[in-house]
Amino acid sequence: MRKNYAILIVLSVIFILPLLITITNSFMSEAEIWLNYTTKLSTFDLVGGITQKFVKFVLIPASVTLSQYIAVLFEQPTFIVLLMNSIKITLPVVLGNTAVSLLCAYAFTIWKWKHKEKFFFVYIIVMLMPLQAVLVPNYIIADWMNIKTSYLAIILPGIFSPFGVFLLRQSMKAIPKEYFEAAKIDGASDWYIFLHIVLPQMKSGIAALSMLVFIEYWNLVEQVIVFIKDYYKEPLSVFLSRIADGQIGLIFAASCVFMFLPLWFLAMGQRNLEKGIELSGVK
Amino acid sequence: MKKTVVSGLLVATIALTTLAGCGTKTVTDYKKIMDSDVSGEITVSCYDSTIYKSYLEKAANLFEEKYPGTKVNVESAGAMPEVKTQQDGGKTLVVVTAGGNDQQAKDDYVSRVNTEIMSGGGADILAMDVLPYYKYADNGQLEDLNNFIQNDPDYNKADYTENILDATAYKGGQYIFPMDYTFNYLTYDSSLMADFPAQDKLTYQDVINAAKDGSASTGNKIFGQSAYSVQKGTSFFEKAYSLDYTDFVDIINKKVDFTGGEFAGLLETVKSYADSGWINPANVTAAETSREMSLDKFATDNAEKYYAKFNSSLNLVNQFTRNLGTKTNVIRLAGSGGSSENDEIAGLVSNDKDEVHFSYAQSYGINSNSKNKRTAWEFVKFLASDEMQSSGLGSPDSIPINNNAKGKIASMLITGEAMQKRAAASGLAGNGQEVSKELTPEQQQALGNYMETLDKFTKLLNKYDVHDEKIDNMVITEVKNFFTGEKTADEVAKTLQSKVELYLNE
Amino acid sequence: MKKVKDQAIWFILPSAIGFIIFFIFPFIISLGYAFLDKPVGGQFVWFQNFIGLFQNSSYQKALRNTAIFMGLCVPLNILCSLGISMVIKNVKRYKQLFTLVFLIPLVIPSGSMVFFWKMMFANDGFINGIIVNLGGSAIHWLETGWALFVIVLIFIWKNLGYNIVLLIAGISSIPKDYYEAASMDGASKWQSFKFITLPYLVPTFVLTTLMSVINSFKVFKEIYLITGDYPHESIYMLQHFMNNMFSSLNYQKLTTATTVLVIGITLITMGLFKIERRVAE
C-alpha cells in the first residue's frame, strides 16, 4: 500500500514539475530568469574560469516579485485584448459544438436507418485527417463563404467538428434502451425524451466534451495564423507561441495567465470528465 | 460494406477532380494582357520589417495618383510590435520594438501565404523577402517576368542594371525583379601595406600572400570586418562558404556535396587561419563567443588595425568622400570595425570560377493566380522606376537597380540629403539644418570617381546563388560544433550531408 | 416508424449540413489534390503522385520512423497507463487528485511546454548540467540517436493522463463480483488480473489505441517545435514530411501522403473493431 503511494507521488512530482516551475518562476524577476536560463558566457564567467554553463531549474525565487505580471497585464495593453480574443473564439465553439453534437449523437441513437453505422464510420474517418491536409480546402470554403478574415472561419468548422458526435454517441450508448421505450409507450415525443431523459443523463459527457474542446481551441495556433491577419485580433495562443523563444522574462507569467482559465475549467469538470469518458468507454 | 462507402468517396473524388482539371490549361496571352488598361485593385504582400512597409505604402499612394482608377493595398505580417511606455524626464515615451520570436512569425507568414496561393488566391505581388522564391517558381506560382518585359513597349532594358537582372534568373526565367543590389568589397590598410597590389578581382589567398609576413611580425590580424558590413554572413567562415556555395549545395539540380572533402577542407582552412592569428576568433563564427558590449571594448575594437577588411557596397561612397569633411552615409552601426582611416579599396572577392557574388534587399514577384497582372506588372515597374528609385525613400543600404537613379542617390548621399529624408521617413525630426542640394566642385569630383568605381564593380557582378534559409541555418548551426571542438570536420560534413539531402529530396 | 425516422433527420440535420460543408468537402477536395500534378490549374495524373511518393527516399524514411515510433509508443503508453491505473485503483485516498495530476500536461500551453523540454534536453540544458556535475560528459540529446528516446518520453508524458482516465473508467466498470468469485476459487492476484481484468479491458484498449494514434499526430506540433523542421534523422517523421511539403507548396504530395495515411488508419480502425467484436463474442 505504502509502495503504491510512493510510486504515485514520485510520478506526480515529475508530471507536475513543469507546472510548478511555470508558476513559481512567474514570480521571479527578469534578471533572475536570465541568470537561470541563459547559458551564454559573460566576460565575468570567463574571468572566473567558468567555461560551460547549464540551464538551472530553480523552484523558489530568490525574491518574490510581481513585475512579470505587471509587465504582462498592464504594460502591454494588448494582452487583455488578446485574452478576450481567445475567449471570443473558444466560447462559441464550446457551446456550439456541444449543442450540435448532442443533437446529432441523439439522432444516431434513435435513428433506424440501416446504413447509419456506415455514415457514423465516415464521421470517424474524417476526424482522422491531419490538419495540414484540410487547411487549404478549409481556406477555399471560407473564401467561398466570404468569411476568410473573420473568426467565423475558425469557429464554424469547430462547431461542426465530428469528435463531439463520436464522444457523445459512445456515452449515450450507456443509457439503457428501456428508458426510451418506456417513455415512448407513455407517448412522449423525441424532443421530450431528448430534453427530459437524455440531457440529464448526459451531464458528464457534456462536461468531458466541453473540456476537451475548450483545451483544444484555447491552444489553437495553425488555423488562426492562416485566417487572422490583424495581430490585434489574434488570440493569446499565437502570441504565446511567438513569445516563447524571444522574451523568456515574460513567458512564465504569460503562461500562468493563459493557463488560468483552462485549469479552472479542468478542475471544475474533473469529476464529470472521468465519469463521461467512463461511459464512452463502455460500449 | 464499409468498403463501398470508401470506394464511393473515391469515385466522387475522381469525378470532381476530372471536372476541375478540364479547361484550366489555357495559354496566357501576354500580349493581350499588356494591351489592357492599368486599372483596378491589386494587393502587395510583404513581411513587415518596418521601413519597408511604409515605403510600399508611399509607393502605392504615388501609383494611385499616377494611374487614376487603381487601388494598391499593402498587406504585411510580422510579430506584434511590443509597445512599452517609458517615463523620460517628465515625458512619456512610447517605444515600439519588434516583439516576440521573429522566426516563428516568419514561419507563420510563409504558412499563410502558402495556404492562400495553394487555394488559388493570394496577393498579386509578393515581396520576396522571407518567402523561398525558388519553391514558388518550381511550382509554377510565379510569373516569368520576361513575358511582360517582351510585350511591354515602354520597358527600356538600358534603364536597369542588366547583369544583375540576368544573374537573378532562375532556370531560365525571370521570376523576381530585384529593386537594388549590394556587394562586398575588400579594403586594405595602407598604413600596414603601402604597396598592396589593388586589382578588380582578388582572392583571399592574394591578401594572405601579401600580408602574412607583416602579420607575423606586427601581430595584427589579416582579415577584419568593417562596421558598415551589414551583408548576410558576418563570420569569415560564412563568407568563405557562400563563395563556393554551389559546390556544396546545388538547389537547382538538387545535388548536395558536403562529404566530398572540400567542405571539411574549408572548415580546416578557416580554423588554421584562426590558429595562425589571421582572423578574429569571433570572426570564425559569430555566435560562438559572447557579445558583451562595453564602451571600453568598443573603443579598443575600433582602434584595432587589420590588413584587409570586408566592406559592404553601402560604404563605397565614403571611400571617396571621407576627405571632404561632410558626414555622408549611414549612421554607424552598433558594433566595432577597427580603424578605417587608412582603408583603400583592394577589390572584389571572387572564387576560382571567376564568380563575384552580390545580393539584394528588395525584390518582387507576380503571383500566377493574380487576376490583374497588367496592373501588378505596372506597379513592379513603378517600384523600379527612376521616380521611385531616386526618391531616397527606398532601401537605404543598397544601390538602385535603375541606372538613372544611381547618380541621383549618390549625390543625395554626398550632400547629406539622403540622411535627412531617411530620418524624416522614420519619424525622427532632422537636425533642422537645411542641406544644400547643390554639389560643391570637390563633391562633384568625388561623385564622378565613385560612379566610375561603382560602374566598374557592378559590371563584374555575375553570381546570385539561390539560397535556402533552412539550409543556411542547418549549416551555421552544425558548423558551430566544429569550431567549439565538439565534432570533427568529417562528422560535421556527414551530418550536414544527410540533413540537407533529406531536405532537398523531399 | 416512419415518423421516428423523420424526427431523427431533424436532429441530425444541423450537424450533417455543417459536417458536409466543413469536413466532407475539404476531405474530398484534399483527396482530389492527390491526383493532380500541381495545386493550381493542375492536370489529372492518375496514380502518378502515389508512385512518386513511394519512390521518395525522404518519405520512406519518414514512414519507417513513424512506424517505429508508433510501434514503440502506443504499446508503451498503454502498458504504463495500465500500470499506473492499477496503482491508482488500489489506493484509497486522493484518487481524484492523482488523476488530475496526470491530466495537467493537457493544459500546459504548448509554448511553455516546448520551453520546458528544450531547457531540459538542450546541449547546455538541465540534464546535461547534472551529468557534467557528476563527472560525465554532456550528451547531445536531440542530435543523436537519443532523440527518439526523448520524443517517446515527451509523447508519453503528454498522453499518459488521457489513457489513465479511460482505463480507470474501464477498470471500475468491471463488476466486483467476478473478483470475489475468483478469490473464493483460490485464484491469485495475478490470475484474476490475467483472466478478468485484461479480457474486460479489450474495448478500452481499442479506444486507447485509436486515441493514442490520433494523439500522436497532435503531439507532433510540440515535437516539431522542440526539435525543428530538420531534426536528427531517427526522428524525421511523417508529420515533418507533411509540414515541409506544406511549406514548399507541394500540396499534391502532401495530400497524397495524407491519403495513404488515412487509408492506413482506416485499416487499423477496422482491424481494431474486428478484434473487439471477436473478443466480445
Cβ <8 Å between B505 and C233: no
Q: Which of C8, C104, C112 lies nearest to residue A16, judging by beta carbons? A: C104
B448-457 pLDDT, tens per residue?
888 888 888 8
pLDDT band for position A93 (cuts 50, 70, 90): very high
Q: What is the dihedral of CA B486, B490, B491, B496, to 10 degrees?
A: 120
Contact B313, B182 (CB under 8 A): yes
- Closest chain C residue by Cα to residue B122: C40
Quote the CA–CA distance of A80 and A66 in Å, as a whole number: 17
Q: Are residues A121 and A49 in the same domain?
A: no
Output the average pLDDT for chain B.
Answer: 74
Give yes or no for residue B415 having a pLDDT over 90: no
Contacts of C110 in chain A (CB under 8 A): 219, 221, 237, 241
Q: Are residues A34 and A99 in the same domain?
A: no
Contacts of C217 in chain A (CB under 8 A): 130
- Closest chain C residue by Cα to residue A96: C15
Distance of CA B318 to the CA centre of its chain: 21
B16-36 pLDDT, tens per residue?
554 454 444 445 677 777 777
Tell me if C188 is assigned to some domain: yes
Give yes or no for residue C4 having a pLDDT over 50: no
Give yes or no for residue A23 having a pLDDT over 60: yes
- Closest chain C residue by Cα to residue A264: C107
pLDDT band for position A245 (cuts 50, 70, 90): low
Share of chain A above pLDDT 70, in %: 83
Cβ <8 Å between C270 and B2: yes
C-alpha cell at position B62:
504615388
Tell me if C197 is assigned to some domain: yes
CATH classification at residue C186: 1.10.3720.10
Phi, psi of C194 (to 5 degrees): -70, -40
> How many domains does the structure of chain C reveal?
1
* Interval B354-362 mean pLDDT: 83
- Closest chain A residue by Cα to residue B86: A75
pLDDT higher for C154 or B422? Answer: C154
Cβ <8 Å between C111 and A130: no
Where among A23, A42, A65 does a domain terminate?
A65
Q: Are residues A36 and A54 in the same domain?
A: yes
H-assigned helices in B22-69: 30-35, 51-66
* Interval C4-15 mean pLDDT: 70
Give yes or no for residue B124 having a pLDDT over 70: yes
Testing the interface with B: which of A140, A242, A250, A251 to mutate, by most B Cβ within 10 A? Answer: A242
pLDDT higher for A250 or C64? Answer: C64
pLDDT higher for B276 or B6? Answer: B276
The answer to whether residue A266 neighbours chain B at the CB level (below 8 Å) is: no
pLDDT band for position C1 (cuts 50, 70, 90): very low
- Closest chain A residue by Cα to residue B297: A43
Q: Are residues A154 and A240 in the same domain?
A: yes
Give the end-to-end CA distance of chain A in Å, rounded to a whole number. Answer: 32
* Range of weakest confidence among A143-152, A192-201, B417-426, C144-153: B417-426
Note down the domain range covering C130. Answer: 53-280
Q: Which of C14, C107, C122 lies nearest to residue A103, judging by beta carbons? A: C14
Note down the domain range covering A7. Answer: 2-65
Cβ <8 Å between A251 and C112: yes
Give yes or no for residue C134 having a pLDDT over 80: yes
Q: Are residues A243 and A264 in the same domain?
A: yes
Q: Are residues A101 and A218 in the same domain?
A: yes
> How many domains does the structure of chain A reveal?
2
Tell me if C137 is assigned to some domain: yes
Quote the CA–CA distance of B436 and B440 in Å, as a whole number: 9
The answer to whether residue A129 neighbours chain C at the CB level (below 8 Å) is: yes
Q: Which of C32, C40, C57 lies nearest to residue B368, judging by beta carbons? A: C40
Burial level of B378, CB count in 10 A (0-12/13-18/19+)? buried
C203-243 pLDDT, tens per residue?
777 777 877 887 777 667 777 777 776 777 777 888 888 87
Q: Are residues A24 and A131 in the same domain?
A: no
B182-196 pLDDT, tens per residue?
888 888 877 777 777
Residues in chain C: 281
Domain annotation for chain B: domains and CATH numbers: 28-180+361-389 (3.40.190.10), 184-357+468-505 (3.40.190.10)
pLDDT of residue B303: 66
Contacts of A133 in chain C (CB under 8 A): 30, 242, 254-255, 258
pLDDT of residue B297: 59
Quote the CA–CA distance of A237 and A234 in Å, as a whole number: 8
Q: Could you give the angle at the alpha carbon of B496 between the alpha carbons of A40 and B489, nearest 5°?
A: 75
pLDDT of residue B287: 38
Q: Are residues A7 and A126 in the same domain?
A: no
Give yes or no for residue B135 having a pLDDT over 50: yes
Q: Are residues A11 and A136 in the same domain?
A: no
B266-287 pLDDT, tens per residue?
888 888 887 777 776 655 544 3
pLDDT band for position A92 (cuts 50, 70, 90): very high
- Number of H helices and E strands in chain B, helices first, is 21, 16
Give yes or no for residue C158 having a pLDDT over 80: yes
pLDDT higher for B311 or B93? Answer: B311
* Range of weakest confidence among B324-328, C144-148, C225-229: B324-328
pLDDT of residue B437: 67
Cβ <8 Å between C249 and B9: no
* Interval B386-395 mean pLDDT: 76
Cβ <8 Å between B118 and C35: no
* Interval B207-217 mean pLDDT: 74
- How big is the A-C interface in CB pairs under 8 Å? 259
CATH classification at residue A153: 1.10.3720.10
Q: Which residues pair with B310 in a beta bridge?
A: B186, B225
Tell me if C38 is assigned to some domain: no
Give yes or no for residue C140 having a pLDDT over 50: yes
Where among A29, A44, A65 does a domain terminate?
A65
Q: Are residues A51 and A78 in the same domain?
A: no
Give yes or no for residue C59 having a pLDDT over 80: yes
Testing the interface with A: which of B115, B289, B371 to mutate, by most A Cβ within 10 A? Answer: B115
Q: Are residues A121 and A193 in the same domain?
A: yes
Quote the CA–CA distance of B69 and C253 in Å, as a whole number: 41
pLDDT of residue C102: 82
pLDDT of residue A96: 92
